[in-house]
């Protein structure tokens, strides 16, 4: 569970950053700001990679609908096409990131946090 907590914290930090980046954005401004899109997509890919490393036991503790979507983030973003679907990214940000943050906040054990392990996913 210690290692899972680290991955969950990495996911949490990435999701929180996404929400911070997009707090004052609209769909229109998101379309126009390629740098914002890049920052958000990078964090979404980080979330997907960390999610794949979580143990089966921890996955069972989490909301199954949230988890299956999170674990397949890369596939959902690319959808077998090398071009990222900006509408899909915006939908994920608006509808799934708040739920993901709430879900992880409910199960993560803050005392187990080891900042030396966090750097691998949160740059």
- pLDDT band with cut points at 50, 70 and 90 for residue 116: very low
| 115, pLDDT greater than 60 | no
DSSP 17-49: HHHHHTTT--HHHHHH-HHHHHHHHHHHHHHHH
Domain that holds residue 73: 2-118
Q: What is the DSSP string of 36-86?
A: HHHHHHHHHHHHHHHHTTS-HHHHHHS-HHHHHHHHTHHHHHHTTSSS--H
Residue that wins the pLDDT comparison between 72 and 26: 26
Q: Phi-psi region for residue 72, left (φ > 0), alpha (ψ -120 to 50) or beta?
A: alpha
Whether 68 is in a domain gets the answer yes
Whether residue 24 lies inside any domain: the answer is: yes
48 within a domain of the structure (yes/no): yes
Q: Quick check: is 123 in a domain? A: no
User: How many independent structural domains does the chain possess?
Assistant: 1
What average pLDDT does the segment 94-99 reach? Answer: 92
Residue 122 has pLDDT above 50, yes or no: no
């Amino acid at each position: 569970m210690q290692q899972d907590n680290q991955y969950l914290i990495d996911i949490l930090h990435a999701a929180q950053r996404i929400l911070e980046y997009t707090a004052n954005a609209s769909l229109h401004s998101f379309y126009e700001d390629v740098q914002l899109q890049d920052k958000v997509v990078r964090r979404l890919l980080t979330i997907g990679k960390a999610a794949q490393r979580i143990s089966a036991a921890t996955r069972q503790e989490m909301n199954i609908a949230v988890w299956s979507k999170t674990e397949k983030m890369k596939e959902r973003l690319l959808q077998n096409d090398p071009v990222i679907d900006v509408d899909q990214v915006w939908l994920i940000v608006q509808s799934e990131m708040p739920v993901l943050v709430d879900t992880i906040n409910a199960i993560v054990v803050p005392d187990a946090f080891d900042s030396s392990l966090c750097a691998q996913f949160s740059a």
